[in-house]
Structure 1
């Protein structure tokens, strides 16, 4: 029985092309190498002695660079192809990371972080388009899930490696290793993967066929982006306000908070791919799955209102993790399937920009609410925002159904 269960689990990872596995490998190397991010605010505050306000502004420049990079990466992927953008983005951001360690002034770092993130985040929409090209049509959602697993594993390994490098080589070593990981991963990609044109079937939507010619007139997509923005805002609380709450309310150590985040990563690693495979076999509507994910994520914050027992932290993590598994792989797939021919990059650019904007808004909003009204108010506000995303999903389902009926 165990052997059968294991075989079924392994079968979830079958059927991918060689290029998809190579893309997954370089994504893991690149994300594991993104060691600067978890230590950036610490580096700016403790090593360069900037004030909290200055660190905040540098991080805002970081966020806006990410947004601009996402838009440029998508637009240029449509113009000159995803392959060239991916190579340019990772190779150039590697060189920029080598250089940024020598920038030590406030305005210099504001500009440097904006520039680095503009170049680095051109990679994301281009990579999404590449998955649509290299994956077989029936495997695209699973391919997106596979790359998400690589991102999660990379982010799990990165901070631990980064901490070891800082202890032995200092922050300078961190920038050198981070830059080198970008260059090594893209060199592996260029040697092993050749450029390929987008297949015609990429432009045939799985759930929608009457699609506006411009992303700016696609009402359904903009409502979908609103849902993505809210769910990303809720998800980023996991890395901003929740670790603070663990310590201030329940006295959890950094190690104990880390274990809770590890639970999130382990559940995703073992369960996300089977969930995606089962939903595809049963042909469950993507928007219905996203709706359930939004509801679970909303409940995860309402659970925190019961603040008399530390066990609620585990319950909350379970809800937010299953919400994440239901939302993110299917929202990636819906965004890609929605894009008409020649507009894939633009659609994926706006999709990734919604996450960049949510990253900026999430920590600022959450911390401001906590500073003025306390943690309980923040959990109530976040849970209620989750209910708004549920309403958005219900509205989306009605609009998509009406669109299909008009054909």
Structure 2
């Protein structure tokens, strides 16, 4: 994997609007209290059954999957800024509605709207970063956003537990308040960045273009494969550890290593990762994640599972830093938001496929086969991603020439 620069050079300053997005991501994640505690709120405060509470949480997930496609379309058609403002102010209202809902119909509707509005900003933010920055600066920028998200989420998961002991209603109001603050940051500091079309041109429809884009569709499949592996950490891993006689508290400590490694390591890797060939770095990162989960085939103690988490977290850092930059290079300029939205939707599909595949594999084939399957899938998507590198470079060059 070749580097793009051999000499240490000062990193260019990132623009004010980018740092506003960074603050926005941090604030939004600092207040992300409701979703991690939604099932507990519904079962303990609303006295719903576990199955009903899980179905309501799934409604949030369904809204989130739809949100990615809708957010990308809106970012291209209406604008990045309006899409983000709609997300944050709309999510605040939806959270308050969900927290005050009493009938099941209202709870279902509010949960879906929270998911639908809550993730509208993701493709808009990704597209805005691509609009603001030159290709060589994007890896560092996406890595910093990833770090802000994990820093905020690490703090919120701890503080949410304390706040929940006071009352679940407080979680909804504080989450809504931080969403409003994030919206105000966008309002005050982030301009509209959507590229203007040539005079007399009209915006092309997304799906007819994307569905004819073979390279893009292959990237989507590879991302679904990656997400299928990644979400074993939040579905199959706790079950496998329980099968080895380890308590749930140990799983909590082991999975916490994911956030700790990201918060401590990512700031030091961000600029270094920007030097590497992006498609090939993405391929290697996918491989590391697959092999990291594969370690589970030969370990049965807490420290072994901890080692597994550390290894796949290193791969996750590389993936998160570079995936947005690769899709930004791949996307046509006029459909950048839509391509980012479809990328996010693919990851959402993986959140459904991964837990289903992993838990059923664990039940019917056992942990060794399941973790070796993760490693094998990691090798397969590595080969596929590495093979796509020349096509991705050619597309990046063509898009850069068009933009110029």
TM-score bin (small chain): 0.7 to 0.9
Quote the residue 2:4 is aligned against. none
Which aligned pairs between 1:119-158 and structure 2 lie closer than 5 A? 119-158=117-156
Quote the residue 1:264 is aligned against. 258
Structure 1 residue 215 corresponds to structure 2 residue 213: no
Quote the residue 1:343 is aligned against. 335
Give 1:30 deviation, angstroms: 0.4
Which aligned pairs between 1:122-271 and structure 2 lie closer than 5 A? 122-168=120-166, 170-198=167-195, 214-254=209-249, 256-271=250-265
CA contact (8 A) 2:241 2:300 kept: no
Structure 1 residue 369 corresponds to structure 2 residue 364: no
Moved more, 184-193 or 63-72: 184-193
Distance 1:135 1:397 in 2: 22
Which aligned pairs between 1:39-58 and structure 2 lie closer than 5 A? 39-58=37-56
Q: Aligned-residue CA RMSD in angstroms?
A: 2.7
CA contact (8 A) 2:226 2:286 kept: yes
Give 1:83 deviation, angstroms: 0.4
Give 1:376 deviation, angstroms: 3.2
Distance 1:51 1:112 in 2: 18
Give 1:54 deviation, angstroms: 2.2
Distance 2:136 2:386 in 1: 26
Query: In structure 2, the residue corresponding to 1:304 is in which secondary structure?
Result: helix
Quote the residue 2:377 is aligned against. 385
Query: In structure 1, the residue corresponding to 2:280 is in which secondary structure?
Result: helix
TM-score, normalised by the number of residues in structure 1: 0.86
Structure 1 residue 304 corresponds to structure 2 residue 296: yes
Structure 1 residue 286 corresponds to structure 2 residue 284: no
CA contact (8 A) 1:228 1:331 kept: no
Give 1:225 deviation, angstroms: 1.2
CA contact (8 A) 1:290 1:393 kept: yes
CA distances 1:69-89 after superposition (whole Å, capped 9, x unpaired): 111110111111100000011
Quote the residue 1:206 is aligned against. none
Q: 1:81 aligns with which of 70, 79, 82?
A: 79
Distance 2:389 2:243 in 1: 41
How many residues matched?
383
Structure 1 residue 67 corresponds to structure 2 residue 65: yes
Give 1:277 deviation, angstroms: 1.8
Distance 2:397 2:60 in 1: 44
Moved more, 29-38 or 238-247: 238-247
Q: Which runs of 5+ in 2 are unaligned?
A: 1-7, 198-206
CA contact (8 A) 1:142 1:273 kept: no
Distance 1:214 1:389 in 2: 24
- Say if 1:193 and 1:401 are closer, same or farther in 2 by CA, change over 3 A: closer
Give 1:57 deviation, angstroms: 2.4
Moved more, 159-168 or 96-105: 96-105
